[in-house]
Structure 1
Amino acid sequence: MKENRPNVLRLVLRLLQGMLIGVGAVLPGISGGVLCVVFGIYKPVMELLGDPLHKFRTHVPKLLPVIAGAAVGFLGVAKILAFFLETYPAPSVCLFIGLITGMLPSLFREAGEQGRPKGCGAALGIAFALILGLLIGLNLFSVVITPNFGWYLFCGFCLALSVIAPGMSFSTLLMPLGLYTPFVDGLGSLKLGILIPAGIGAVITVICLARAVDTLFDRFYPYAFHAIIGVVLAATLMIVPFDSFTVSAASAVVNVVCLAVGVLAALALDRFNSRVPKQDD
């Protein structure tokens, strides 16, 4: 009986890790890919996604508890997030900005895991400028995005990218485009009109990019990770609800409190992650 306890504890730990990865995948500012790295399962996940036919038998049994936990965490949180974004938009966004800000130290730490050679700052700056310019351009030209099949394909692409590219949160790109709330609401409500195109987009992304992204991070890890941080910074800057701070003193206080809570929550999660033993076996 005692011999089975380590296996049961490992199963429970894998389930909990999967739930955290699922929650992290849907929460703005927290990357499911980063949590995979933190928990030491990024490598087997990428091996499975990059070569599912040959790795299915060896990797799926080991990762099945993680996959199950991730599905529960992802779908369970999506509906709640959609409700708060629609009912309390400014405080919710401020909370998410706080989460992103609180995760920045861990992102920079992960980015420097293999050193910071010359050019990392340039990669961050170029990515920041490109994304900021793109988003500002969309705002200046008053481009209104109406969610449809094609855009939900794009949502699936961003979702898959947040897993295969550590540090990339799919909400980072979807929130400035106004796609995040309808997307998570559709996921939480299990709407087939959203689930099907998002699923197709995610599968296509995994098939086309999983091995390429894995190779990119293997060969150019510091540059790729710093570029992702640039994307995160630019997209976060664009979702700051500056107007909500001037509506009233009360709304400003609420927003500041939400920012602080988000930062503290992200720092607490980072501290918890640092204490969890990695499982590369």
Structure 2
Amino acid sequence: MNAKQTENPSIFKLLLKILQGALIGLGAVLPGISGGVLSVVFGIYKTVMELLANPFRNFKTHVPKLIPYGIGGIIGFMGIANLLSFLLEKYPNPSVCLFVGLITGMLPSLWREAGEKGRSKGSYVSMIVAFLVILALLIGLNLSSIVITPNFAWYLFCGFCLALSIIAPGMSFSTLLMPLGLYTPFVDGIGHLDFGVLVPGGIGALITVICLAKLIDSLFEHHYSLAFHAILGIVVAATLVIIPFESFTVSAASCIVNLICLAVGIVAALVLDHFNSKVDVKD
């Protein structure tokens, strides 16, 4: 009897960690939901960053703790990639509106996270500067009609953005890739296990972790508010650029569909935020 009581909670806790890992993996690839934020919510962000910052010193103590989350992360990441690729190909404008809704619905959560350690004038300055810089950059790319053709170098950049979405809470890699037209081919390559995408993406992610893990960990440790508010500014600017405004004027039917998708995304993100705030899943 006692053995069963001890065993069942252990199995339940293991399954719960795998589920949490799956949600983090899904958040890493799904627009608007940051895998980094979910790892903070689930109480493993510090463990992940300590492992990435000092992998040899922390390997034995940290890897066993993270294995269930890693298994779940792979399941969530790979499981959603093919679905996203299909939706973006068949229903591009409604899909983007759904993603914009998800991002919009996550903004209150990001705002709370950004202010967790207080706000200063510098916090608002960093947010505004990041917003203006990214907005100007992306609008400039659109106005100059630069067409980005995905190749090895660009997939390296995709891997950089993917790793950044894990080690920098609040940063969704889709935020940077969608305005550049790289999100769909990258996700499609992941979903179809295309090594022409997986290899450079993996190299880019690995280089990012090696070069930036300690820096970003230190940045959030000592300048949390400035860093998080800058990420918030980047998210808002990139989201504004991907909104398919022209699709709302094509017909009344397309406008209604897009608005419904936008609303569904907002509600889904708010529900997830509510769930995260109510459920204590930290070790």
For the superposition of Structure 1 and Structure 2, which TM-score range results when normalised by the shorter chain? over 0.9
Q: CA deviation at 1:220?
A: 0.4
198-207 or 269-278, which deviates more:
269-278
Q: CA deviation at 1:189?
A: 0.4
- Which residue is equivalent to 1:151? 154
Q: Distance in 2 between matches of 1:56 and 1:270?
A: 32
Aligned residue among 162, 166, 190 for 1:163: 166
Q: CA deviation at 1:2?
A: 1.1
Aligned residue among 120, 123, 129 for 2:123: 120
Q: CA deviation at 1:277?
A: 1.5
- Which residue is equivalent to 1:196? 199
Q: Distance in 1 between matches of 2:281 and 2:13?
A: 11
User: What is the identity, as a one-letter code, of the residue corresponding to 2:170?
Assistant: G
Aligned residue among 23, 28, 32 for 2:26: 23
Secondary structure, counterpart of 1:76 in structure 2? helix
- Which residue is equivalent to 2:279? 276
- Which residue is equivalent to 1:34? 37
Secondary structure, counterpart of 2:8 in structure 1? helix
- Which residue is equivalent to 1:141? 144
- Note if 1:129 corresponds to 2:129: no
- Which residue is equivalent to 2:6? 3
Q: CA deviation at 1:275?
A: 2.1
Residues 111-152 of structure 1: CA deviation (Å, up to 9, x unaligned): 011011221111110000000000011111111100000000
Residues 167-215 of structure 1: CA deviation (Å, up to 9, x unaligned): 0000000000000000000000000000000000000000000010000
- Which residue is equivalent to 1:181? 184
Q: Distance in 1 between matches of 2:28 and 2:264?
A: 19
Secondary structure, counterpart of 1:119 in structure 2? helix
Residues 83-126 of structure 1: CA deviation (Å, up to 9, x unaligned): 00010000000000000000000000000110112211111100
Q: CA deviation at 1:278?
A: 3.7
Q: CA deviation at 1:279?
A: 2.0
- Which residue is equivalent to 2:266? 263
Q: Distance in 1 between matches of 2:245 and 2:20?
A: 35
User: What TM-score do the two structures reach when normalised by structure 2?
Assistant: 0.98
1:74-113 equivalence runs, <5 A: 74-113=77-116
Secondary structure, counterpart of 1:113 in structure 2? coil
Secondary structure, counterpart of 2:282 in structure 1? coil
Q: Distance in 2 between matches of 1:111 and 1:67?
A: 26
Contact kept in structure 2, 1:39 and 1:276, CA below 8 Å: no
Q: Distance in 1 between matches of 2:45 and 2:123?
A: 22
Residues 65-86 of structure 1: CA deviation (Å, up to 9, x unaligned): 0011001000100110010001
Q: CA deviation at 1:250?
A: 0.3
- Which residue is equivalent to 1:70? 73
The percent of aligned pairs where both chains have the same amino acid is 68
Q: Distance in 2 between matches of 1:163 and 1:99?
A: 18
- Count the aligned residue pairs: 280
- Which residue is equivalent to 1:241? 244
Contact kept in structure 2, 1:160 and 1:202, CA below 8 Å: yes
Q: CA deviation at 1:253?
A: 0.2
Q: CA deviation at 1:272?
A: 1.1
Gapped regions of structure 2 (runs ≥ 5)? none
Q: Distance in 2 between matches of 1:20 and 1:128?
A: 28
Q: CA deviation at 1:276?
A: 2.3
Q: Distance in 1 between matches of 2:117 and 2:61?
A: 29
Q: Distance in 1 between matches of 2:139 and 2:72?
A: 38
Q: Distance in 1 between matches of 2:234 and 2:214?
A: 21
Q: Distance in 1 between matches of 2:120 and 2:161?
A: 28
